[in-house]
Copies of this chain bind each other. A is one copy, B any other.
């Protein structure tokens, strides 16, 4: 939960002069999201989210993220859409930060995942993958396998403070992942951070996706592997095969998975567990004193990684092959 940049009234008023959104009725910082500052902006016209992009977001990537949201919206995916200013620009500056106004998406993110959430997630995820086709911009995944070695090296010296033997466990896993990482799978635009807090529901129906600030070009099945980790484990780290089956079957009802994709799923799930384990480990070891955001437990992803290491094949995820 976080609001990093405080926006003063006059700054807001000046900023909104560039838009055609009516008068401000209310403006409140939202205690969600850990990367950027988000405000709920209510005007006489509608509700919006005003986002100030903080230091973890690369400004050069913003046209990709905002353009993608607009592209997906225009291709039938429910997600926030940038609101252009009077000159047709999506991106402006506010309080020294890049800032954008995006449309407000109704719904609540699920705090306790039920099987029906996983069943509802698969289809729209596949639709998003299909809808990304034709988006003109590209962004390589800056947190894929090539990024993991430097991340591990940055944390290796202190990793054993978190869990004895962690550094050598991760080194061995990374050696394996680097050697085995697939060279060619169906790829395109992926969300790459589709945790439950980025998926909204209303009355058991999925209402849309938010937070595209890790979106990039990568294997579609890698996005699915991220969801397996984020949606199909219980709080005690046990794997819920019912949820996985519902998620995967709902996905492949819309976008069938090739034999190669199915075969790669356990490896991609290990890779996805590695990615979140490494970034959480880094944040755990490097979060500043008095930070407003509590770092997430890296060891949750150690347990998930170990589960996938023991998987014999995609059938262990509940799939009928």
Contact = CB atoms under 8 A, between A and B. Distances in A.
Contacts of A147: none
Given A6-B111, A9-B111, A29 B26 contact: no
A232 to B, nearest CB: 18
B26 A106 contact: yes
A75 B19 CA distance: 38
Most chain B beta-carbon neighbours within 10 Å: one of A10, A202, A292:
A292
Contacts of A32: 28-29
Interface string A14-39: 00000000011111111110000000
A30 B27 contact: no
B40 A28 contact: yes
Contact of A9 (B27, B29, B112, B291): B112
A45 interface: no
Interface of A: 1-3, 6-10, 12, 23-32, 40, 42, 104, 106-108, 110-112, 201-203, 290-292, 294
Given A1-B2, A28-B32, A30-B30, 6 more contacts: A1-B31, A3-B31, A10-B112, A24-B108, A25-B106, A25-B202
